[in-house]
Amino acid sequence: MTTRKPPAAAWKPGQSGNPKGRPAGTGDVSKLRAAIAKQVPGILDAMMTKALDGDVGAARLLLERAVPPLKAMEPTLALTLPDGTLTDQGRAVLRSVANGVLAPSQGAALLGAIGTLARVTEIDELETRIAALEVRNGKS
């Protein structure tokens, strides 16, 4: 089986056969967008008229596109955690959730933060222990 040689004028890897590319706005999608763009003011006026005449679908469509949806927000609450261990603080959070002081999602977020703090504290303690061992063994 023989291998075929590319023609002498073949493009090199990474080299475009059409460096200027297709002129902007000449594709079918661009033409369609341009045609729709010309009609947008009339479409919006018609939708607004229908919405004002009681068309719930038109009103919903306009509002969904123009007004961002409201996001549920929980009120912030001041919570004093006890001095002591992270376990004591975690129990205080659970107690606050059980007593209705904190929403369950707020309690979960606080417990997650306490867990992250526990991991950070553990890393700090390990670094301190390693440094002490290196000093004791003469590897500073």
Question: Measured between alpha carbons, how far is 56 from 47 in angstroms, rounded to an integer?
Answer: 11
Pair of tokens at residue 17? 């056969």
d(CA 12, CA 22): 20
Quote the pLDDT of residue 8.
65
**Alpha carbon distance 6, 134 (integer Å):** 65
Binned at pLDDT 50, 70 and 90, residue 1 comes out as: low
Tens-place pLDDT, residues 56-115? 999 999 999 888 888 888 788 888 899 989 999 999 999 999 999 998 999 999 999 999
Sequence spans of domains, the chain: 28-66, 86-136
pLDDT recorded at residue 25: 72
Which residue bears the tokens 């297709």?
22
Q: Which residue has 């603080």 as its token pair? A: 89
Using DSSP, state whether 28 is helix, strand or coil: helix
- Ordered DSSP codes for 70-118: P---PPP---PPPSS-HHHHHHHHHHHHHTTSS-HHHHHHHHHHHHHHH
